[in-house]
Structure formats: structure tokens, C-alpha cells
A and B are shown apart, each in its own frame.
Chain A
């Protein structure tokens, strides 16, 4: 096979050459969306999400498993669910979680004295949520980390994380003694149990 040169003639019409029809076509599309979204009643599958506007709730658009800014859950009595087991800080690939434990001097025994997440270091992988044995840390806030002016503002303390939190009534250690009634087919290895 020989290597040769093949000349291709580019066919350009006059309309292509002056560009105006294409520009007008684009303007029509833009204008159509503009009028439909501004004056129309809106529609399913809306084309523009006005993210950042106060009346827009990202919760309505984002899927349930979207990983947003962390939050810490609390018990019914208002204390933090975290028991400072360090599972999340151990598994964190970015090492962005810093915890110091303290003694609660009650039956729950252990709690975090410090619980700090550096959201700038966080890679939003969600492993901390997977590792948590107490349903204490969650990333289900569906909010992005907002822009900050200084780095310190992106380092969230226990108080910041609890403000986003909510009471969790998850039973420590799973579903508890009634698990068989709650989930009859839980473990195929114990069929008769």
C-alpha cells in the first residue's frame, strides 16, 4: 500500500460563511429556555437549577445517597452519639478527622471531647459513614461545603457538626433482640433459627 495525499473539499454554503443563521438559532434556543423558565409554570426535568438561591432546596434534586457536608447525630437526650471509637479517623484516606476521647462518667462511658473535620482535606469518599458503628457520623445533609474566606472556617468542630445533626434512634449493635421478627430472612445460614 502506498501512502498518498487525499484532498477533501470542504463544502461551505454562503449561510455557513456568514455565521448569522447559526447565531440566531442559538439565540432562539436560549430565548426559549429564558421565557419558559421565567414566565412559564416550570416543567418536569427543569433545565436550570438555581443553585445558591435561598429558595432553592438541593434536597429536592439530589439523590438520597448524595454525600454532602458531614453531620453528627445525637441521642434522644441530646448528647452526641459518637463514642470516639476512632473507626472513622482510622479509615479516612485523607486523615481529615481528628478526635480526642473523654470519659463521660456515666453508663455510656466514652464520648469525644474534640471532634474536628477539616472539610478542605476531605475527599468526600463516605468511608467514615460506612465505618461508624453508632450511626453517629452521616453525610446525608445534601449540602455542599459553602465557600469560606479563611481556611479555619472550613475546619468544622463538634458544635458545627451537631448543629446540622438530628436525633437518631438507631439501636446500638443493630436491630436488637427482636431482629428475627423484624427481618425474618436475615441470615440464610440459620434457616430454622
Chain B
């Protein structure tokens, strides 16, 4: 029974989570559903009948017949006073703090205190902008000592770099002099920090949080396919943060995956089709590609990085051309037993679904191109690693590259078609657990860029194929095959939904 409403929960649920089920957001700093419980911030105090004093709701397990008041005057007063203690030595340097706008302390102050400071003695000064790791800057003044980051480092990557030192108002969050916060999951502490004590060097001072839009999509860094939020303003992406998916990545993601937003840099992108180095209108470039490809001995190269839809569309083209099939993939990389997978391709299983028999011997393809075994090659993505000799041969062949950004391969190909990137399409990956992972468009593709599956659809039509599905039809078929309501809803949506501003999206951390 919470505030007069009855609620039944699973055994072992705490009062805070039970209240959340009723839509009551009990303020808290130190509690995080993905970590152990410290009950040190005392911000989530509630009144439980028959308990002698106020109880932290994160620590109180729901029991039969329990009667809880989350909003009584006594509770409100306790929260306000706790908040005043928390703010006692907080520097309130919101104008230069990267967390401003998504700060939990700011939100709780507005909800529960909203009074002027009564502090008339100088605040305790501590170290500011302390460089503690590859990606992280620590500001000890802003820290409210909730110990979420300490618990994260102990419990998730199990490296335990951070610790609390000293006592009372001198207590600080710090790191050993001879250690650095360099574990591959270090940036998660920035997300879980309720204030701006731990900030990301990469994101530092780039943009204010309230200017960003948030799109829920999927990371393309490796075969895990973590659920992410892409934060962007207009058509420029600024950062990637993890999104809760209990089956795949829980609340976390790796640092390497966060940096994949950099490949969306508009300066690296291809905006218009190119034929023999000259910019050409898209329709003409597709017609020219079809004319050059018709009746040639062709190789097609699938990509384990592109969406399943694009690979399926390439399979249609390969069928028309009766082509030899290859599969390009990224080399293997860092691996651990948490989230990072050695297979750095987000969609190896999806590409295999489109092309079960494709060979992944890139050396063989390079040799055969150099040896003039093919008259034409179609590349999906700019990924295929070719030898210099093979790359030089490409310009004299009927070579078509469908890619979203410039690469050595796209520079070498005779015809380049501008594809939309993973942040601009409705698409899907199949991850290492054989789950369908959905890509949502964050912003519309500008200029001549199109969904790669649509480009290939037009190419197949220009080659004379009839009844070939387009990107939307492929996505709908995949949604049916994997019974994915998420993808189905996205495909059936009448128009593109504009992603919400971060300040209206669900509060992070």
C-alpha cells in the first residue's frame, strides 16, 4: 500500500521500485537499479507505518501489509533538509558544468527545495578538473559522494580504481596516484554520475545537454548490438549513451562503442553520386551503373557492417547478374566477457542470412580482380580491404560502390552511389544472440543520399528485374520473420517521427 494505492510486486523488490510502478518517482541520488544498494544519500526517505523513523526506500524491501507514505509533510521536510546538506558545499557552477540540463541535483532542487542558500561561510574548496583517466575528468567539488561510480568500478568491470577518502566535509572521491581510470567501460561513470563530478573529455564543452535530441537506436561497434541513444543536434551527432536493454547490455556499454558516432561526421560523407570522378544526378548514375553492369561477369561484395535490408537488396541484384558472392567484414578486435565481442561486425549474422554461400576470402577477391577474372564488381560499403594492385584495376572495371562516406575503396571505384548512414535509416542488425536489433533514423538523409537498400532496389529495377522488394518491404519481411513489434511499428509508421529533445526524454542516470 503506497499513498493509498495498492501494489503487488515480485518478492525482493524495494519500495522505491514499487513506487515507480505506480508512477511515483521518489527522489534519489545513490540508488541505481544496476548497482548494489548503499543507502548513503538519504534522499529517498519515506514514512513506513509502524517503523520508528523515516526509512530509505531503496533499502526497504516490500513486505506484506506494508503501508508507505511517500509524500507526507514529514517526508517532504526530510528531503528538503537532506538536499540542503547535499548542496552545502556544492559549488553551483552550473554555467560551466557539462551536466547542466540533465543533472539530477538540479532536478531535485527544483522539485523539493527551491530556496535560496543559507550558507554564509566560505564553501570547502577541493580539486577541480582533475585528469584521472583516458576519457574522464574529475571535479571533486561538484561530487555529492553518492558512490555510484565507486560501486560501478567494483561491480561491473571489477577493476575498483575509484574510492572515497577522508571524512566529513573533507571527504572526496579520488583515485590512487599511481592508477588511472582506464578500464574499457570507464565512460559509464559519466552517465551514472548524478551531478557533473565525472565528465567525459570527448564531450567536454561541445554542446549543452538541452540542445540535444535523443534517438533510441543500436550500436554498430561489434556483434553485441548494445541498445543506445544517439544524441544529436540537427544532422550532427555528439555522443552515444547506453539505453536499458536487460537482455543485451543492461545499463552499460563500452567506451569503444561510444566513439562510433565520429564516423557520422558530415565532413567525411558522400552527398552526391559520382561517375568516373564527376558528380552526377542520382538517377543518371544508377542508369549508367545498370548499363555498365549488364551482361558482365560480376562479383558482388556483401558487408557485415551494413543492415540486413541492404544485404538482402544486394542479393536481389546478385540474382539478376548471376554474380559471384563475397562478404567483407571488419577484422577481429578487443574482447572481454562483459559486452565487447571479438567480432567487430554488428551484422555478420544478418549478412549471412542474405548470402549464406558468400566467400569471405578477401585475398582471393583481390587476386581475382587483379587477374581480371571479373568485368564488374559491386561493393556494399567501403569496407573491403583490397591490395593496391586490385584497387588500381577497379577504375578500369565497371566498379560500383554504395557507401555513406569516403574511403580508399570509394575513391578507387568508377561509380559511387551515396548511401544513408546507420543514423539515417530504418534498418536492422542481427546480433550475436540472434536477436533482431533495430536502427531508428535520427535525422533525414540530406542531398542525394538514400537508404542503401533503396539504391540497390533501383539498380535491380534498372537491370530489368521485376517485382523486387524495396527497403521498406525487406524490413517488413524481417519484422515478420523475427516477430519484432519494434521494427514492425517503425516500418508501418506513416511518417518519420521527430526524435524528442533530451530535456523531454526520460531522465537519464
Contact = CB atoms under 8 A, between A and B. Distances in A.
Interface in B188-226: 204-208, 210-211
A64 interface: no
A173 B100 contact: no
Given A102-B205, A103-B205, A110-B205, A87 B95 contact: yes
B439 to A, nearest CB: 30
Contact of B119 (A103, A177, A186, A189): A177
B122 interface: yes
Interface stretch (A78-86, A115-123, A137-145): A78-86
Nearest to B118: A193
A183 to B, nearest CB: 11
B96 A85 contact: yes
A110 B204 CA distance: 10
A193 B128 CA distance: 31
A101 interface: yes
A109 B129 contact: yes
A7 interface: no
Interface residues of B, number: 21
A110 B96 contact: yes
Given A84-B205, A101-B205, A189-B115, A107 B120 contact: no
B121 interface: yes
B128 A109 contact: yes
Contacts of B121: 177
Contacts of B95: 83, 85, 87, 110, 133-134
Contacts of A109: 96, 128-129
Contacts of A102: 205
A149 interface: no
B211 A90 contact: yes
Contacts of B122: 177
A178 B120 contact: yes
B115 A83 contact: no
Contact of B208 (A90, A133, A173, A190): A90
B494 interface: no
B220 to A, nearest CB: 29
Interface in B91-139: 92, 94-96, 100, 115-116, 118-122, 128-129
A107 B94 CA distance: 15
A180 interface: yes
Given A85-B100, A109-B129, A180 B205 contact: no
A65 to B, nearest CB: 24
Contact of A86 (B119, B128, B208): B208
A187 interface: yes
Given A85-B94, A101-B205, 15 more contacts: A83-B95, A83-B96, A84-B205, A86-B211, A87-B95, A90-B208, A109-B128, A110-B95, A110-B96, A110-B205, A133-B94, A177-B119, A177-B120, A178-B120, A189-B116
20 contacts: A84-B96, A87-B95, A90-B208, A90-B211, A101-B206, A102-B205, A103-B205, A107-B128, A110-B205, A133-B94, A173-B92, A177-B121, A177-B122, A178-B120, A179-B120, A180-B120, A186-B116, A187-B116, A190-B118, A193-B118
Interface of A: 83-87, 90, 101-103, 107-110, 133-134, 173, 177-180, 186-187, 189-190, 193
